Amino acid sequence: MSLTNKEHEQLITLLEKANVIWQYYEKEHIADDLSDKEWEEFVALYQDNFCEGAYFVVDDLLGDYRYELENKEKKNNETIRQ
């Protein structure tokens, strides 16, 4: 089942309004060679794995971001002391 253009626009608007990190893939984005039935089976089989993988990616990115914030704060503190 695919979203209509209006549903797609509403989804994007809501996700942006919610200020969340998100990504989704429709069959046309990455697997246009699969039939609709094959795509539905793929999604059913791997949806949870994709979510788990996305969690680990965002966790790593957040760790990097926190590290950068910490270093920025240390540099600011050193500049203030000088």
Tens-place pLDDT, residues 7-51: 999 999 999 999 998 888 889 889 999 999 999 999 999 999 999
Q: What is the pTM of this model?
A: 0.68
Residue-wise DSSP of 3-72? --HHHHHHHHHHHHHHT-------HHHH-TTS-HHHHHHHHHHHHHHHHHHHHHHHHHHHHHHHHHHHHH
- Structural domain boundaries enclosing 65: 5-81
**Domains identified in the chain, total number:** 1
Collect all residues with Cβ–Cβ distance below 8 Å to 51 and sequence separation of at least 6: none
pLDDT at 74: 84
